[in-house]
A and B are shown apart, each in its own frame.
Chain A
């Protein structure tokens, strides 16, 4: 095939593989709205699975094409013009299927399909069955957007889809209060940190004139304070998405969702998406030693913190979440210090390992019967000194991160509750004994 043919195919394949999953979600949604009855579980899953399978196949084809076996490799950058143009501001519609993007795209497509297959059986007969798969489709598109975006604006759209999916799955069992609280916490953390992304994006547009990923290469020429500011703003966003200190509190609480989503989001893609952003903005990072140092410090301290928590956590998913966080911290440090290729390999291997461990997490009792428990800790081997007790407590209490954040919000909450009580009292005073509607 000629170069132009391949280019043309790539031009079609990329948007299809990105958009097909969410299109499948929309179709399932329409099917539900169109008829008075729910479609069969089989129909809904089949639509989703076909979309996800095509997405995976296309992703694989793009990967094969990029190796050059069909002749020359098609160009990685595919430009579709502009999504929006207002004055000088322009949202470019650019996709970037370079090696990083392709690896991450393959990883996302593979894991999403795997989890969808798993969930077909796992979620069977659950009240939120359709909701589950619809959100999953949205998430898959988000992940592919992140992987293949050629401009920060598009990247951000995918980034947000992943965030919304994460929050919706944490609050999946919304008839109980705890999942809803946890979901809100994750969502609020994302919102806060994503402000960094937005501001960084505006800054990039201002100083570099374009928000395409390739334009970031120009950041090497920026004055230090500019690249530092932009880098730190991006880093803030990464710290939220990847649950780095001090935003780690939402992660264990995210285990309220169904097990396969814990696997997909917090073992697989969502936590690593932050790292992928780091890979994408690596020119900025390398332009600013400050960002490198801050990133490395945040990453390493999170890794140490999470390793300690993972050792003290007596529940299967909590321990796994922190084990994952530990590696994510480590990879953040790797990227900050410039080891981007190592980081990409680390991300891929790590995501596969954790997804598998998460999917088998409920097997802990069975495994304990089969392979035995590592010896129940003997008293002598336990931390006994005051210092050791403090370290243990700090890990057990997770540095009381949530508590510290909540204390900032306390005055507002107290005021809100006082208003609520006042409202209630007024209602009883004036409305008591009357019909609700008469």
Chain B
């Protein structure tokens, strides 16, 4: 049976290699990192890539045509956008004349706008008979069309997707679905094998790998599912002979009669049949560090186990239905699809004739050839092509508006401020921080904000006070070279030691209670003991989520306050001992100086330091939310950026670092003080670090900045809650803050925040060109000053980091919202945390990857519009050097726009070169404060000018 040769092993190898690329690449959900869902297609041009990728996964590449159509009806897409998108199609041959005097362009436009060729025949006829008739406008023409179509030729029927595996063919033949039994069996085996610590006992012998563990299980007499009977013999043999996975796969393919040349596709399709679990095998195999269970993991073994079950299930299903098992014969048994009904075709013809203005006689007299041409033209303008045109139009409308706003804003003459800023705030580039930055700027034009990737140049492995192991706080592409530990201050060392013991004991009790409650006696004891307490807890947590959490925190702080801590950011001696992972603990003075300088230069503060500078990392806290980490900072690798902000501030405050900075030309005045902080994007809380160190001279400026921040976070909360249907419009800022606090504390809240749902564009450039624009929390704002970067080295560094991170976020949201079931993970409500790896639907289902409905429901799926304040030449040069940026830009996975730093001229990279692009030149509407613009709406708002953010109200009023 195991007489495989090298050829099919090659095919299997090739299939597995390909499967690595296609399968979802999402690690255990505890650390959620946004990435391009179709990353392995990134080397292809966007439209081609997503159409191919989606077809391979049986998913949609674009929003449903109905949604585009609704956007068209509502005016979200306008005539000129559609025109431009139609012109843009490579095959938009204007001159080509089609029958009835139609142009190809007319035909396509009709197909898009009138939505005329997927009518279901029965419904159509019913409506014609019972009204309102869709063809009432011209009955004679309808009769002519119906008559003409009846004479043929009919459109060729859509070829149903060819069967890829036995299962597809068996279902098409009406046999039993063999996958139901196999999926149940596989999901329980996979989840027990990969379990990261949720179950009391994991799959025995898992240190020998999946194939052996499963084989040993069945070899010791466990029963296989009834419908896979026969598999136990295979497993017994595998357990004895220790057959390698590829040979097992080859043997199963032999048994199923899959010919050599089809093996690759067959194996890929098999891997894709349960994409979530297969993807987790593929991910953990290639990233073993993410696997806490430390068992050897191999995708090939997963496929091997699956093939053994598949084979027997398929044989049984075929046998029951009296069908052949061999792959050479089975697909031939599939009945032909039913042809498209004449009524649907007649309706299409009727519509086209109307567009062409043709008479009934003309339609009757059409020859067979013309009719066939029409059918052909319709079929080549397929679903994918229509989605492509719609998406381009959809994006064009937003691009026009946003670029128009920037152009408008840039044309305004602004007085330059020479005086020292009242306070400076450095935020993450995250688009969720746009509103709080605007809310600060609106308070005083002397408040200045910056955006920098939220790890603030501090790529570290961070170990918090109670963490057991280091966690990388930096973009995923970087491997930190240093480790930084949070340490208690010396005066509290003994309290820390005691608290750590108490804490461990308490957590031990919590863990024990959780597992005891599942046992026979423990469950009984705890029911009587804890039942009433659980009842009270449930009432409090459900009726008063915010207050009850607050009280609990207060009790904890009272009983066991967290000791004060400092970060060990600097390594005093080069010979200081390394960490357990072999990394230096903290930076040397030189390294610290380089990082601080690099960061300050990158955002362009090299002079004009204000007295107080707040550095705010961000993270998000929510409960009952397996996707909690997806709301954390992407630039910190799906973790909270507080430690990075704190470290940056700590280093920048050190005298030795400042001295070294001075030596390289960055002179931080002695009265300037940095404060690190953490902004929680779910409840809009801000927590400052190390305020004990604040010099007394900086106390007043800090208090001033803090007051502004207190106001700003309330306004930001207010701007956020307008998107939540459950919050009434017109709340006061205080109530809005209370609302978001309650959201974050609520156990029943599936939408603690909308996360990156609103992301749409990114600006890399001086804040002064976007300041005062209401960007509706849709823009990543990266501070970059082209005037201080003649060699573009800073820009190159920024784009190399921001490009992939921004594109990753934007594309993950894109795919999850265009196909929530295949790319996203559906609604959260039935989600069940499995193996601490991810969520599955209910019981024994596939692992669901991507984002849930509750995170993407208000998203407008578009590619990231990346506007960079740099010349086209500079951008092309950088793209030439940075491979990942090149791939994203040249293949148009992001829409890159160059904004010339001196002239303000804007050009978009499209079809291989920079071209002028259409922008809206209508003057911007202006309001005094943001809330006047968005306050009464739950929808997206177009860009507007917020005058309070600028220092030119008299000027603007004069021009208005």
- Is the beta-carbon distance between A124 and B726 smaller than 8 angstroms? yes
Q: Is residue B207 contacting chain A, with contact meaning CB distance below 8 A?
A: yes
Interface of B is mostly: loop
Residues of A within 8 A of B269 (CB): none
Q: Can you name the residue of chain B whose Cβ is closest to the Cβ of A300?
A: B520
Q: Is residue A352 contacting chain B, with contact meaning CB distance below 8 A?
A: yes
Question: Whole-angstrom distance from the CB of B210 to the nearest CB of chain A?
Answer: 14
Q: A314-B192, A319-B199 are in contact. Are A428 and B507 (CB under 8 A)?
A: no
Interface of A is mostly: helix
Digitize B723-755: 1 where CB-to-A-CB distance is under 8 Å, 0 elsewhere: 001100000000000000000001111110000
Size bracket, chain A contacts = 35 or more
In the complex, identify which listed stretch (B509-517, B604-612, B800-808) lies at the interface while the others stay far away.
B509-517
- Is the beta-carbon distance between A353 and B204 smaller than 8 angstroms? no
A397 to B197, CA, bound (A): 19
- Is the beta-carbon distance between B222 and A389 smaller than 8 angstroms? yes
A157 to B201, CA, bound (A): 42
**Looking at the complex, which one of A303, A312, A371, A384 makes contact with B205 (CB distance below 8 Å)?**
A384
A303 to B518, CA, bound (A): 11
Q: A126-B829, A173-B827, A312-B201 are in contact. Are A374 and B294 (CB under 8 A)?
A: no
Residues of A within 8 A of B200 (CB): 310-312
Digitize A295-311: 1 where CB-to-B-CB distance is under 8 Å, 0 elsewhere: 00000000110010011
Question: Whole-angstrom distance from the CB of A182 to the nearest CB of chain B?
Answer: 7
- Is the beta-carbon distance between A382 and B518 smaller than 8 angstroms? no
Question: Whole-angstrom distance from the CB of B641 to the nearest CB of chain A?
Answer: 16
- Is the beta-carbon distance between B320 and A414 smaller than 8 angstroms? yes
Digitize A179-215: 1 where CB-to-B-CB distance is under 8 Å, 0 elsewhere: 1011000000000000000000000000000000000
Digitize A396-413: 1 where CB-to-B-CB distance is under 8 Å, 0 elsewhere: 110010011011000001
- Is the beta-carbon distance between A374 and B511 smaller than 8 angstroms? yes
Question: Whole-angstrom distance from the CB of B134 to the nearest CB of chain A?
Answer: 16
Digitize A237-271: 1 where CB-to-B-CB distance is under 8 Å, 0 elsewhere: 00000000000000011111111100000000000
Residues of A within 8 A of B218 (CB): 393
**Looking at the complex, which one of B189, B222, B338, B515 makes contact with A390 (CB distance below 8 Å)?**
B222
- Is the beta-carbon distance between B748 and A256 smaller than 8 angstroms? no
- Is the beta-carbon distance between B339 and A123 smaller than 8 angstroms? no
- Is the beta-carbon distance between A258 and B829 smaller than 8 angstroms? yes
- Is the beta-carbon distance between B30 and A369 smaller than 8 angstroms? yes
- Is the beta-carbon distance between A390 and B834 smaller than 8 angstroms? no
Q: Is residue B694 contacting chain A, with contact meaning CB distance below 8 A?
A: no
**Looking at the complex, which one of A122, A256, A310 makes contact with B841 (CB distance below 8 Å)?**
A256
Residues of A within 8 A of B122 (CB): 436-437
Q: Is residue B225 contacting chain A, with contact meaning CB distance below 8 A?
A: yes
Residues of A within 8 A of B751 (CB): 124
**Looking at the complex, which one of A121, A123, A315 makes contact with B833 (CB distance below 8 Å)?**
A315
Q: Is residue B624 contacting chain A, with contact meaning CB distance below 8 A?
A: yes
Which of A117, A118, A258, A315 has the most C-beta atoms of chain B within 10 angstroms of its own C-beta? A315
Residues of A within 8 A of B192 (CB): 312, 314, 396
Q: A389-B216, A435-B342, A438-B125 are in contact. Are A413 and B176 (CB under 8 A)?
A: yes
- Is the beta-carbon distance between B176 and A345 smaller than 8 angstroms? no
Which of A349, A363, A425 has the most C-beta atoms of chain B within 10 angstroms of its own C-beta? A349
Q: Is residue B379 contacting chain A, with contact meaning CB distance below 8 A?
A: no
Q: Is residue A362 contacting chain B, with contact meaning CB distance below 8 A?
A: yes
- Is the beta-carbon distance between A372 and B507 smaller than 8 angstroms? yes
- Is the beta-carbon distance between A356 and B534 smaller than 8 angstroms? yes
Q: Is residue A432 contacting chain B, with contact meaning CB distance below 8 A?
A: yes
Q: Is residue B497 contacting chain A, with contact meaning CB distance below 8 A?
A: no
Q: Is residue A29 contacting chain B, with contact meaning CB distance below 8 A?
A: no
Q: Can you name the residue of chain B whose Cβ is closest to the Cβ of A110?
A: B535
- Is the beta-carbon distance between B29 and A365 smaller than 8 angstroms? yes
Residues of B within 8 A of A369 (CB): 30
Q: Is residue B341 contacting chain A, with contact meaning CB distance below 8 A?
A: yes
Question: Whole-angstrom distance from the CB of A426 to the nearest CB of chain B?
Answer: 11
Complex interface residues of chain B between 293 and 323 (CB less than 8 A to chain A)? 293-294, 320-321
- Is the beta-carbon distance between B174 and A417 smaller than 8 angstroms? yes
Residues of B within 8 A of A377 (CB): 197, 201-202
A322 to B520, CA, bound (A): 11
Residues of B within 8 A of A372 (CB): 468, 507, 511
Question: Whole-angstrom distance from the CB of A220 to the nearest CB of chain B?
Answer: 30
- Is the beta-carbon distance between B518 and A326 smaller than 8 angstroms? yes
Q: Is residue A355 contacting chain B, with contact meaning CB distance below 8 A?
A: yes
Which of A330, A368, A436 has the most C-beta atoms of chain B within 10 angstroms of its own C-beta? A436
Q: Is residue B699 contacting chain A, with contact meaning CB distance below 8 A?
A: no
Residues of A within 8 A of B954 (CB): none
Q: Is residue A100 contacting chain B, with contact meaning CB distance below 8 A?
A: no
In the complex, identify which listed stretch (B66-74, B538-546, B772-780) lies at the interface while the others stay far away.
B538-546
- Is the beta-carbon distance between A352 and B532 smaller than 8 angstroms? yes
A380 to B100, CA, bound (A): 79
Residues of B within 8 A of A182 (CB): 842-843
A307 to B520, CA, bound (A): 6
Residues of A within 8 A of B507 (CB): 370-372
- Is the beta-carbon distance between B835 and A400 smaller than 8 angstroms? no
In the complex, identify which listed stretch (B44-52, B523-531, B571-579, B882-890) lies at the interface while the others stay far away.
B523-531
Q: Is residue A222 contacting chain B, with contact meaning CB distance below 8 A?
A: no
Q: Can you name the residue of chain B whose Cβ is closest to the Cβ of A307?
A: B520
- Is the beta-carbon distance between B518 and A393 smaller than 8 angstroms? no
**Looking at the complex, which one of B197, B520, B524 makes contact with A373 (CB distance below 8 Å)?**
B197
A373 to B726, CA, bound (A): 35
A317 to B750, CA, bound (A): 17
- Is the beta-carbon distance between A361 and B321 smaller than 8 angstroms? no
Complex interface residues of chain B between 621 and 672 (CB less than 8 A to chain A)? 623-626, 628-629
Q: Is residue B138 contacting chain A, with contact meaning CB distance below 8 A?
A: no
Q: A316-B832, A352-B531, A369-B30 are in contact. Are A390 and B220 (CB under 8 A)?
A: yes
- Is the beta-carbon distance between B121 and A437 smaller than 8 angstroms? yes
Q: Is residue A12 contacting chain B, with contact meaning CB distance below 8 A?
A: no
A133 to B180, CA, bound (A): 31
- Is the beta-carbon distance between A373 and B747 smaller than 8 angstroms? no
Q: Is residue A394 contacting chain B, with contact meaning CB distance below 8 A?
A: yes
Q: Can you name the residue of chain A whose Cβ is closest to the Cβ of B338?
A: A432
- Is the beta-carbon distance between A316 and B527 smaller than 8 angstroms? no
Q: Is residue A79 contacting chain B, with contact meaning CB distance below 8 A?
A: no
Question: Whole-angstrom distance from the CB of B643 to the nearest CB of chain A?
Answer: 15
**Looking at the complex, which one of A303, A363, A364, A420 makes contact with B747 (CB distance below 8 Å)?**
A363
Q: Is residue A75 contacting chain B, with contact meaning CB distance below 8 A?
A: no
A173 to B832, CA, bound (A): 14
- Is the beta-carbon distance between A406 and B526 smaller than 8 angstroms? no
- Is the beta-carbon distance between B831 and A362 smaller than 8 angstroms? yes
Q: Is residue B519 contacting chain A, with contact meaning CB distance below 8 A?
A: yes
Q: A315-B843, A355-B538, A382-B201 are in contact. Are A327 and B829 (CB under 8 A)?
A: no
Residues of A within 8 A of B195 (CB): 314
A369 to B626, CA, bound (A): 11
Residues of B within 8 A of A37 (CB): none
Q: Is residue A11 contacting chain B, with contact meaning CB distance below 8 A?
A: no
- Is the beta-carbon distance between B528 and A349 smaller than 8 angstroms? yes
Q: Is residue A418 contacting chain B, with contact meaning CB distance below 8 A?
A: yes
Q: Is residue B797 contacting chain A, with contact meaning CB distance below 8 A?
A: no
Residues of B within 8 A of A383 (CB): 201, 204
Residues of A within 8 A of B188 (CB): 396-397
A165 to B518, CA, bound (A): 26
Digitize B494-508: 1 where CB-to-A-CB distance is under 8 Å, 0 elsewhere: 000000000000010
8 A-B pairs closest in CB distance: A349-B531, A393-B222, A256-B842, A373-B197, A356-B534, A311-B200, A323-B518, A352-B535
Known: A121-B749, A361-B832, A396-B189. 19 other contacts (CB 8 A): A122-B829, A259-B829, A307-B518, A307-B519, A311-B200, A316-B198, A326-B523, A327-B524, A352-B531, A374-B515, A375-B197, A383-B204, A392-B204, A392-B217, A397-B223, A407-B226, A414-B176, A436-B122, A437-B121
Q: Sample 28 A-B pairs with CB under 8 A, ordered by A number.
A: A125-B725, A252-B843, A255-B832, A258-B829, A259-B831, A310-B200, A315-B198, A315-B843, A319-B199, A322-B518, A323-B523, A326-B523, A346-B527, A348-B531, A349-B528, A349-B529, A360-B624, A363-B747, A372-B507, A373-B197, A386-B221, A389-B222, A390-B220, A390-B221, A393-B220, A397-B188, A428-B338, A438-B342
